[in-house]
Copies of this chain bind each other. A is one copy, B any other.
């Protein structure tokens, strides 16, 4: 990737996280990146192209991270695969912190672009997790919650530290981008997963049957 292209991407992500996507003009991005505004048309055919590039780029990486972990199902137990997916996704997101924040925010919008992107990528995510959980069930490991609730909670767990870094630093006084916090957070998400998947299903608890 050229330096110019990279500079545009970094400037755009930074501005989108401060003033929002719509609050940022192509001119703002060019000026922040220190490049001529024509470069944005040249590399991304404008701001919307840049948005698509960022969101699909992030989700491509997200899904291929997940796909790689999913391949490990031939050598690991279903539970281990879920753990691996979560660990690798958190690691991926930590390597693209600002982009992650931007994409999760965009995913919360009711737009046609987001709808199209979602059906492409997040249906794959759903497929992977459903497949592993089903395999787990066959082997006697149950997820003690309905699938849609589990997925929603997982989305919350995976997105919160990236969506609200300002809250974490200015209200909770922790540094969300510190290795320390990231590791601690990951460990706690694993603990949650453990609790979700441990043991035999109890008759009073609602159990997922796919």
Distance to closest chain B CB from A11 (angstroms):
14
Kindly state whether residue A163 has any CB partner on chain B within 8 Å.
Answer: yes
Interface residues on A, range: 35 or more
Interface flags for A1-23 (1: CB within 8 Å of B; 0: not) read 00000000000000001111111
Q: Which of B119, B156, B161, B174 contacts A171 (CB 8 A)?
A: B119
Indicate if the CB atoms of B166 and A152 lie closer than 8 Å: no
- Expressed in whole angstroms, the Cα–Cα distance for A159 and B157 within the complex equals 10
| Chain A contact residues, majority secondary structure | helix
- Expressed in whole angstroms, the Cα–Cα distance for A4 and B150 within the complex equals 41
Q: Quick one: which of A17, A22, A148, A153 has the most chain B CB within 10 A? A: A148
Indicate if the CB atoms of B184 and A172 lie closer than 8 Å: no
Q: Which of B109, B118, B173, B192 contacts A148 (CB 8 A)?
A: B173
Q: Which of B23, B152, B167, B206 contacts A168 (CB 8 A)?
A: B152
Chain B residues within an 8 Å CB radius of A184: 146, 149, 206
Kindly state whether residue A144 has any CB partner on chain B within 8 Å.
Answer: yes
Kindly state whether residue A43 has any CB partner on chain B within 8 Å.
Answer: no
- So how many copies of this chain end up in the complex? 2
- Expressed in whole angstroms, the Cα–Cα distance for A89 and B168 within the complex equals 20
Indicate if the CB atoms of A192 and B153 lie closer than 8 Å: yes
- Expressed in whole angstroms, the Cα–Cα distance for A157 and B145 within the complex equals 14
Indicate if the CB atoms of A171 and B22 lie closer than 8 Å: no
Given the interface pairs A23-B21, A146-B184, A188-B149, the reply to whether A170 lies near B110 with Cβ below 8 Å is no
Interface flags for A100-112 (1: CB within 8 Å of B; 0: not) read 0100110111110
Kindly state whether residue A131 has any CB partner on chain B within 8 Å.
Answer: no
Kindly state whether residue A96 has any CB partner on chain B within 8 Å.
Answer: no
Q: Which residue of B lies closest to A171 (CB)?
A: B122
Indicate if the CB atoms of A126 and B22 lie closer than 8 Å: no
A-B pairs, 10 with minimum CB distance: A156-B160, A156-B156, A22-B22, A22-B23, A148-B174, A148-B172, A108-B163, A195-B195, A20-B22, A122-B171
